[in-house]
């Protein structure tokens, strides 16, 4: 413990910490985890779970090096502020022992993937990263090939992105890029467990760093803020050793993924598009609009919950109530525009899967057509007040061109969005009832805007 305090106190950037700040119980003496995606979520989720073990993480940044440079300058130390009803609690995390910039250190990245010291690779690289063979999937495949050549030990690749069957998705992105011997080796030595990850972690802003400075008394350029809730459900399919994470290990994660992606993330995206259109900055602010909570509760009870079977012991309605309480947390300033980005990569699992299952069960789909209408209007890029809305989406050109070609009529615009294949499944694109309901909602949004539409529900 004394050594740890020395570590923290000797660090140039994190010293003289107030007594209410939790500090690491020691710096890990070993590595073992290689993580890709140096974003806010990793720092407030997997790195925190790992901080409770004796394993260490090398964090690799695929693109911008801003975060890893900040971490490196602070000896890997940074703070996570938990923003609860009673105020903020700060904890310094010590599990990050090294950093790596993939674009400029590709050889080192491959060596680390191949290294016998690396047992688990974790990923938070956003949903779209799995569709780019030249990106992370290609890097992993090349690293696995090197590991195979060297006859390295088994390896676990653990996706922590918000995707359904995320282990299978990762395997599906990497395996086709392996050739011959490497593929045979990977079959016997590499596993891709699925995992459900949950903690709301908004992007850090200058205000985040100001609050950290005010609380810690030192500059922390890698600070993150998060809600108190945290959850990690992992398919117990590790090829080799793993850290003693305080997660739930299970044989089947699919039910947990559906519960979370459809309920939490589905409602999150819904509020994000409605809020952005209404010129509201945050998810909490959107949920506070008159009628919004009633709509969200009905969406969960009447559309989302009946679309799937919850895991044993989970009540989707209670889960949904808890989610709405979490969204209402005023400390979490999660911007609608952050949640709204990459809709084409998120809505298949957050919205369209729900719609498809409701249609298959012959359950009416009127309420769930509203988020589809809101996304359609959002993609056109103008809010209810006439302000410009950014469309930060890898398919932005396709979406905007389809809408432009459709002209101004709501039915044609809904058809244009439903016609974007690879995003909207065929059964949803052909869903006549959904199309009519979404057209009606889009007409309401065009004529009256979000606020009166929500109040009318
Ligand atoms: N923030 C949350 O509340 C939260 C909660 C649960 C799960 N997640 C998952 O974690 C992911 C990352 O969230 P975050 O808050 O850390 O975001 P972030 O924007 O802070 O970080 C994203 C990271 O992904 C990398 N990245 C982006 N596009 C990439 C690409 N095409 N190829 C390779 N790398 C790419 C970026 O360089 C960055 O390191 C989310 O997309 C989601 O799947 C986030
Ligand atoms: O992180 P994304 O971009 O996949 O989605 C935005 C939010 O819906 C998401 O980050 C939630 O906050 C998170 O999934 C909660 O666990």
pLDDT attached to residue 9: 52
Q: Could you tell me which CATH class the domain 2-250 is placed in?
A: alpha beta
Report the residue among 125, 132, 204 best suited for mutation to probe ligand 1: largest number of ligand atoms under 8 A from its CB: 125
Which band of pLDDT confidence, cut at 50, 70 and 90, is reported for residue 8?
Answer: low
Domain residue ranges of the chain, discontinuous segments joined by +: 2-250, 254-455
Is residue 399 within a helix (H) or strand (E), and if so which, with residue range?
helix 396-406
Rounded CA separation 371/374 (Å)? 5
The answer for residues whose C-beta is within 8 angstroms of residue 49's C-beta and 6 or more apart is: 232, 243, 245, 246, 247
Report the residue among 34, 35, 40, 41 best suited for mutation to probe ligand 1: largest number of ligand atoms under 8 A from its CB: 41
pLDDT attached to residue 85: 83
- Distance (angstroms) between ligand 2 centre and the Cα of 323 equals 12
ipTM of the complex in this document: 0.99
Q: Do domains 2-250 and 254-455 have the same CATH topology?
A: no
In this predicted structure, the answer to whether residue 366 has a pLDDT above a threshold of 80 is: yes
pLDDT attached to residue 421: 87
In this predicted structure, the answer to whether residue 387 has a pLDDT above a threshold of 90 is: yes
CATH of domain 254-455: 1.10.1040.10
- Per-residue pLDDT of 161-186, as tens digits, reads 999 999 999 999 999 999 999 999 99
- Distance (angstroms) between ligand 1 centre and the Cα of 125 equals 5
In this predicted structure, the answer to whether residue 289 has a pLDDT above a threshold of 70 is: yes
- Per-residue pLDDT of 407-446, as tens digits, reads 999 999 999 999 998 899 999 999 999 999 999 999 999 9
Q: Which residue's CA is the nearest one to ligand 1's atom 34?
A: 125
For residues 84-103, average pLDDT? 95
pLDDT attached to residue 10: 64
* Ligand 2 pocket residue status of 340, Cβ below 6 Å: no
Percent share of the chain, pLDDT over 70: 97
Whole-number Cα distances in Å, 316 to 291, 310, 320, 351: 21, 7, 6, 16
More confident residue, 294 or 24: 294
pLDDT attached to residue 16: 74
Contact 265, 349 (CB under 8 A): yes
In this predicted structure, the answer to whether residue 227 has a pLDDT above a threshold of 80 is: yes
Q: Which residue's CA is the nearest one to ligand 2's atom 13?
A: 200
Which band of pLDDT confidence, cut at 50, 70 and 90, is reported for residue 1?
Answer: very low
Q: Tell me the sheet residues that pair with 233.
A: 196, 248
Reduced to 3 states, what is the DSSP secondary structure of residue 173? helix
pLDDT attached to residue 3: 38
Task: Point out the ligand 1 atom lying closest to the alpha carbon of residue 61.
Answer: 39
Is residue 120 within a helix (H) or strand (E), and if so which, with residue range?
strand 120-123
- Distance (angstroms) between ligand 1 centre and the Cα of 63 equals 11
Length, in residues, of the chain: 457
* Ligand 2 pocket residue status of 339, Cβ below 6 Å: yes
In this predicted structure, the answer to whether residue 4 has a pLDDT above a threshold of 80 is: no
For residues 153-166, average pLDDT? 98
Instruction: Write out the two tokens for 383.
Output: 């809010």
């Amino acid at each position: 413990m004394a050594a740890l305090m020395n570590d923290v106190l000797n660090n140039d950037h994190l010293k003289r910490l107030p007594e209410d700040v939790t500090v690491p119980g020691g710096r890990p003496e070993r590595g073992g985890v290689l993580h890709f995606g140096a974003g806010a979520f990793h720092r407030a989720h997997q790195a925190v779970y790992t901080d409770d073990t004796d394993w260490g993480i090398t964090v690799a940044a695929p693109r911008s090096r801003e975060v890893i440079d900040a971490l490196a300058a602070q000896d890997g130390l940074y703070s996570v502020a938990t923003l609860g009803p009673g105020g903020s609690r700060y904890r310094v995390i010590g599990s990050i022992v090294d950093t790596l910039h993939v674009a400029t250190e590709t050889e080192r990245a491959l060596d680390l993937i191949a290294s016998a010291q690396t047992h688990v690779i974790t990923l938070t690289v956003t949903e779209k990263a799995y569709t780019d063979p030249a990106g992370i999937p290609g890097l992993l495949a090349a690293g696995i090939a090197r590991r195979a050549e060297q006859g390295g030990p088994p390896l676990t690749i653990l996706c922590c992105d918000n995707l359904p069957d995320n282990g299978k998705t990762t395997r599906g992105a990497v395996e086709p890029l392996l050739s011959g011997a490497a593929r045979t080796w990977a079959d016997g030595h590499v596993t891709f467990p699925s995992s459900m990850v949950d903690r709301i972690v908004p992007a850090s802003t200058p205000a985040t760093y100001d609050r950290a400075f005010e609380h810690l008394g030192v500059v922390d350029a890698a600070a993150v803020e998060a809600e108190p809730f945290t959850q990690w459900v992992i398919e117990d399919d590790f090829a080799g050793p793993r850290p003693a994470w305080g997660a739930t290990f299970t044989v089947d994660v699919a039910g947990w993924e559906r519960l979370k992606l459809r309920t939490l993330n589905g409602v999150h995206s819904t509020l994000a598009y409605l809020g952005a259109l209404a010129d509201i900055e945050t998810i909490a602010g959107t949920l506070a609009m008159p009628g919004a909570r009633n709509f969200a509760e009905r969406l969960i009870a009447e559309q989302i919950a009946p679309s799937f079977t919850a895991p044993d012991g989970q009540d989707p309605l209670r889960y949904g109530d808890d989610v709405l309480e979490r969204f209402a947390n005023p400390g979490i300033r999660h911007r609608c525009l952050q949640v709204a980005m990459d809709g084409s990569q998120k809505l298949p699992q957050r919205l369209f899967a729900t719609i498809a299952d409701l249609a298959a069960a012959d359950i009416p789909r009127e309420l769930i057509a509203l988020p589809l209408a809101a996304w359609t209007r959002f993609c056109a890029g103008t809010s209810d007040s006439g302000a410009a809305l950014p469309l930060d989406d890898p398919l932005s050109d396709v979406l905007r061109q389809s809408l432009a070609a459709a002209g101004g009529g709501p039915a044609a615009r809904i058809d244009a969005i439903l016609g974007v294949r690879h995003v909207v499944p065929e059964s949803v694109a052909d869903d006549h009832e959904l199309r009519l309901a979404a057209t009606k909602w889009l007409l309401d949004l065009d004529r009256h805007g979000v606020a009166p539409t929500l109040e009318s529900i």
